[in-house]
Amino acid sequence: HKRGGVKVDGPPRAIQDRATAEAVATEARDRPFAVTAVRTGNRRKGAPAPFTTSTLQQEAAKQYGFSAKRTMRAAQRLYEGVELGEEGPVGLITYMRTDSVRVADSALAQVRDFIAAGWDARYLPATPNVHKSGRGSARVQDAHEAIRPTDVTRRPEGLKAALDTDLYKLYLLIWRRFVASQMAAPEYETTTVDFALGRLLFRATGGRARL
């Protein structure tokens, strides 16, 4: 976390090259990692925004190891429609090429009703969560909504038999993120543990969800 009182992630950075990193490893190697401080606290983390094209690709890569091409191929099929028995082909998600996190009022109303019916009242905020686009938000193309289920009442488990593995995984990701985007901000009990080794300070952090 720090070397000689200077943070590793700076600026300025305490470790800026391989030689320094190797020197730190050598310095730490023979020292006991004894706990020198423990702190606990509480933290509230904002509800995540619904997916845009880029954030969907990033999360699918992180969760499933999908390439961007594989993610978009599955998203295209979910958007164009999947055969659902007597219903015929049904588009399960909104348009998958978007930079916007905007959600239609009708979809907001539906997901809030869905959360109210399925979870404790603690999980539904008093008013809808409003999310803002990230960097370059002034240039965001807002013609399309965020990527979301066309009908949030279509739970992933109810569609599993109709979807192949890639489609099911991606729909599950999109559905969960959309529902979470309109839930109350989660609260965490945080713990920070320090290990001071001479000039070196190592830090471990963790959190446990309360809500």
Looking at the annotation, which residues are catalytic? 95
Long-range contact pairs involving 111-120 (C-beta distance under 8 Å, separation at least 24): 111/152, 111/178, 111/179, 111/182, 112/182, 114/152, 114/153, 114/179, 115/179, 115/182, 115/183, 119/183
Enter the tokens of residue 24. Answer: 């730190």
Closest alpha carbon to 179 in 57, 81, 47? 47
Helix (H, G, I), strand (E, B) or coil at 166: helix
**What's phi and psi for 166, nearest 5 deg?**
-65, -45
Burial class (CB in 10 A: 0-12, 13-18, 19+), 106: exposed
Enter the tokens of residue 124. Answer: 């539904």
Residue keyed to tokens 């909104």: 94
